[in-house]
Amino acid sequence: MSRFAEARFLLSAAAPAQFPADVGAEVAFAGRSNAGKSSAINAILARRSLARTSKTPGRTRLLNFFALGAERRIVDLPGYGYARVPEQERLEWGPLIDTLRHRQSLRGLFLIVDARRGVGESDLALVDWGDPAVRRIHVLLAKADKLSRLEGAAVLSSARGRLGERASIQLFSAVEGQGLAEAQRVLTDWLA
Ligand code: GDP
**CATH label of the domain that carries residue 109:** 3.40.50.300
Q: Cα of 152 to ligand 1 centre, how many Å?
A: 17
C-alpha to C-alpha distance for 61 and 77, rounded to whole angstroms: 8
**DSSP string of 121-136?**
HHHHHHHHHH-TTTSE
Domain assignment present for 165: yes
Q: Cα of 48 to ligand 1 centre, how many Å?
A: 13
Domain assignment present for 144: yes
Residues with CB under 6 A from ligand 1: 31, 33-39, 79, 142-143, 145-146, 173-175
Domain assignment present for 1: no
Domain assignment present for 74: yes
Q: How far is CA 32 from CA 23, 82, 112, 119, 133, in A?
A: 28, 8, 7, 10, 22
pLDDT at 87 over 90: no
Strands 72-76 and 63-67: antiparallel
DSSP letter, residue 62: P
Q: Cα of 17 to ligand 1 centre, how many Å?
A: 31
**In this predicted model, what pLDDT tens digit does every residue of 90-138 receive, in sequence order?**
667 778 888 999 999 999 999 999 999 999 998 999 999 998 888 999 9
Which domain does 39 fall in, by range?
A: 8-191
End-to-end, the C-alpha distance of the chain in Å comes to 18
State the total domains in the chain.
Answer: 1
Q: What share of the chain is helix, strand, coil (3-state, %, to 5)?
A: 40, 25, 40
Strands (E) across 35-167 are located at 63-67, 72-76, 106-114, 136-142
Domain assignment present for 3: no
pLDDT of residue 93: 75
